[in-house]
């Protein structure tokens, strides 16, 4: 039996492209909507090449209601996985309007278009950041949302609250809020991975660019935190595990209501532990120096992911060595990301 069609907004990006691949492998039909503001269509060409199946790609903006109406008119969509958004914390402080416009405005427009099309199943990309600085670790879904310290985090929190209100107001909706911890890694083929534009904000892409010789040294933000080695502790999980979590969440959408899940590995690792592991696996030195703390960073947090295990049958299966080996394979094979193949024409593409 043919599996249903899923709309993946932001599906050309880092997590979206890995999820599109996992969906295709699981037999789903996939329609990707992406403005390509932070992605390359090359990622989707490679997804199709790896899986040996085609998806539909529509270049368009999730804030464009007419585009969404056309899309829902042309495709019989069963559910939407909504990745599209802006995600750089520092940039969100400088450009709050852009972040609220895309992350909040885009989500509202999407929900209105879904409502008009009679599609009421939604998986939303949220973040561990919604727990805020005062939540005790490990974070559990039963804890309330906390204060946020930047417009990016606030935008995620506002969308969560909006979706919660929507579910309460209209019993037809089934919404999963997936709170990601720190996704890293890449597809084991080395063909798909994270391709940040400019200077990477996140730790692993920065370390990988040092290892491959694109950057001289890592700046470690803060070595005076109350952690074992003084550097921040995070819960890193493999992007393929995270992608698989979305398939689990889709199955849960059969049931109306709000479903909240942490997707994390449940284990905290420090910045210096990540550096050491990268050096051990890549056999490359990672020079680093300490600098003052980065604004808004919390000392340590990790997930309690038991709820996802019990209700979705999901847990992070891949370990640290796999995460780093896969990151390194991707970086080594694609030292400049997708850029060298950016002009490759892909099939099945249309503009909105
Ligand atoms: P990404 O930037 O690689 O992917 C986002 C995609 O959305 C990109 O392909 C971009 O081109 C697209 N996009 C942006 N604005 C758009 C718009 N207006 N219309 C259509 N497409 C648009 O980021 P990612 O790491 O894959 O993150 C995916 C989602 O997960 C985001 O919502 C992000 O906030 C969330 N998230 C990411 C992390 C992380 O550490 N990567 C952690 C928690 C949550
Ligand atoms: N770090 C460095 N040097 C760098 C980059 C990062 O020392 O060049 C440190 C940070 O200070 C932090 C740790 O590495 O201690 C991890 O930082 P990341 O930027 O990789 O990840 P964050 O935990 O800050 O943020 C990520 C996502 C956010 C999301 C948050 C919580 O980028 O979108 O996880 O889920 F909100």
Q: Where are the domains of the chain?
A: 5-351
In tens, the pLDDT along 230-244 reads: 999 999 999 999 999
DSSP bridge pairs for 238: 184
**β-strands 56-59, 218-221: how paired?**
unpaired
Judge whether 152 counts as a catalytic residue.
Answer: yes
pLDDT of residue 66: 98
Question: Average pLDDT, stretch 141-155?
Answer: 97
Question: Which residues contact residue 21 at a Cβ distance below 8 angstroms, ignoring those fewer than 6 apart?
Answer: 47, 50, 51, 187, 192, 243
| % of the chain residues with pLDDT over 70 | 97
Residue 345 has pLDDT above 60, yes or no: no
pLDDT tens, position by position, 27-80:
999 999 999 999 999 999 999 999 999 999 999 999 999 999 999 999 999 999
pLDDT tens readout for residues 169-220? 999 999 999 999 999 999 999 999 999 999 999 999 999 999 999 999 999 9
**Superfamily for domain range 5-351:** NAD(P)-binding Rossmann-like Domain (3.40.50.720)
Share of the chain above pLDDT 90, in %: 93
* Pair of tokens at residue 182: 């720190």
Confidence band, pLDDT 50/70/90 cuts, at residue 2: confident
CB 275 within 8 A of CB 286: yes
pLDDT, mean over the chain: 96
Per-residue pLDDT at 262 exceeds 60: yes
pLDDT tens column, 288-314: 999 999 999 999 999 999 999 999 999
Does the C-beta of 221 come closer than 6 Å to ligand 2? Answer: yes
Q: Output the residue whose Cα is nearest ligand 2's atom 36.
A: 129
In the structure, what pLDDT confidence band is assigned to residue 343 with cuts at 50, 70 and 90? very low
Q: Which residues pair with 183 in a beta bridge?
A: 237
What integer pLDDT is reported at residue 214 of this predicted model? 95
Confidence of residue 1 (pLDDT cuts 50, 70, 90): low
Q: Is pLDDT of 282 > 70?
A: yes
The torsion of the CA quartet 311, 21, 180, 327, rounded to 10 degrees, works out to 130
Place of tokens 């019989």: 76
The predicted pLDDT at position 341 comes to 55
Report how far residue 237's alpha carbon sits from residue 319's, in angstroms, rounded to the nearest whole number.
8
Q: State yes or no: pLDDT of 347 exceeds 90.
A: no
SS3 107: helix
| Average pLDDT of the residues in 317-342 | 92
Cα 144 to Cα 139, 141, 265, distances in angstroms: 10, 8, 21
Distance 13 CA to ligand 1 centre (A): 6
Catalytic hit among 28, 99, 100, 152: 152
Spatial contact of 181 and 137, defined as CB atoms under 8 Å apart: no
The closest ligand to the CA of 60 turns out to be 1
Residues at CB less than 6 angstroms from ligand 1? 9-10, 12-16, 34-39, 61-63, 83-87, 102, 106, 125, 127, 180, 182-183
pLDDT-wise least confident of 33-42, 109-118, 325-334, 335-344: 335-344
Cα–Cα distance, 242 to 255 (Å, whole number):
21
Looking at residue 290, what is its pLDDT? 98
Ligand in nearest proximity to the CA of 88: 2
Number of C-beta neighbours around residue 201 at 10 A:
14
Given a contact cutoff of 8 angstroms between Cβ atoms, the answer to whether 78 and 4 are in contact is yes
Q: Is the peptide bond before 138 cis (omega within 30 degrees of 0)?
A: yes
Q: Whole-prediction pTM value?
A: 0.97
């Amino acid at each position: 039996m043919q599996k249903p069609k899923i709309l993946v907004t932001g599906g050309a990006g880092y997590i979206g492209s890995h999820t599109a691949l996992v969906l295709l492998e699981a037999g789903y039909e996939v329609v990707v909507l992406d403005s390509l503001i932070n992605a390359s269509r090359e990622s989707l060409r490679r997804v199709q090449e790896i899986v040996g199946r085609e998806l539909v790609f529509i270049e368009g903006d999730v804030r464009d209601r007419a585009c969404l109406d056309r899309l829902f008119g042309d495709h019989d969509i069963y559910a939407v996985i909504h990745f599209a958004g802006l995600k750089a914390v520092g940039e969100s402080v400088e450009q709050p309007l852009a972040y609220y416009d895309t992350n909040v405005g885009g989500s509202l427009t999407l929900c209105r278009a879904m409502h008009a099309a009679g599609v009421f199943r939604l998986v939303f990309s949220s973040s561990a950041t919604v727990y805020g600085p005062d939540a005790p670790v490990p974070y559990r879904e039963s804890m309330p949302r906390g204060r946020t310290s930047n417009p990016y985090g606030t935008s995620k929190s506002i969308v969560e609250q909006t979706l919660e209100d929507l579910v309460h107001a209209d019993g037809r909706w089934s919404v999963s809020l997936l709170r990601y911890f720190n996704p890293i890694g890449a597809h084991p083929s080395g063909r798909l991975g994270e391709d940040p534009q400019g200077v990477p904000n996140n730790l692993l892409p920065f370390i990988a660019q040092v290892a491959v010789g694109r950057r001289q040294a890592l700046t470690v933000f803060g070595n005076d935190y109350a952690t074992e080695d003084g550097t921040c502790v995070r819960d890193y999980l493999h992007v393929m595990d995270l992608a698989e979590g979305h398939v689990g969440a889709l199955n849960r959408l059969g049931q109306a209501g709000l479903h909240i899940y942490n997707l994390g590995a449940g284990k905290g690792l420090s910045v210096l532990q990540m550096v050491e592991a990268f050096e051990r696996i890549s056999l490359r030195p990672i020079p680093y120096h300490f600098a003052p703390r980065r604004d808004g960073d919390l000392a340590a947090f990790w997930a309690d992911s038991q709820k996802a295990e019990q209700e979705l049958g999901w847990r992070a299966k891949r370990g640290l060595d796999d995460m780093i080996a896969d990151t390194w394979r991707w970086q080594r094979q694609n030292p400049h990301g997708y850029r060298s193949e950016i002009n490759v024409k892909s099939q099945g593409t249309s503009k909105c």
